[in-house]
Amino acid sequence: MSYDTKAGTYTLNWGPMGHQGWELADWADTVLRAAIAVRKGDQKRLGDRDFLATALADSRRLAEALAALDDELLLAARDAEPRLSLRALAGVVDRHYTSVAERLGKLAAGKQALRRGWLLGLPFDAAAAAAEIDEPTRKGL
């Protein structure tokens, strides 16, 4: 989206997401500002310790939330009535179908993404989360 003022806007509607919607929007805003700084080579921002720390933290949080969302969408696609074949899913997520099958197997075994509970709006239980989190989900499938 390009305007003469070089300003962009987008209206988000997160309805029942509540607080999580605000967090997603905030993290995405930070990530966009960081991407702009990198693209422009903005040394003032890229040299600011607070900006870097916030950008790195929010980028990680957003990636974790998106990993949880990916997992839930994979589960929905392969529910009791599969809506997409493993090969179709693999094409969509740009992974080999065996990687998709392996991830689905981990999900079936209870290995969840770090922010799954957050995404679903479940109360946080640190002990249960520590036992069930699948570390490789931080890197995607």
In a domain, 7, yes or no: no
Domains of the chain: total: 1
> Can you give the residue range of the structural domain that contains 91?
17-139
The string of pLDDT tens digits covering residues 64-94 is: 999 999 999 999 998 878 898 889 999 998 9
HSE, side-chain direction, 13 A CA sphere, residue 22: 2
Mean pLDDT of 34-62: 96
CA distances from 51 to 41, 46, 64 (A): 14, 7, 20
The answer to whether residue 138 scores a pLDDT higher than 50 is no
In a domain, 10, yes or no: no
In a domain, 45, yes or no: yes
In a domain, 90, yes or no: yes
Are the C-beta atoms of 122 and 134 separated by less than 8 Å? no
Predicted TM-score (pTM) of the model is: 0.77
In a domain, 131, yes or no: yes
**pLDDT at position 54, please?**
96
In a domain, 120, yes or no: yes
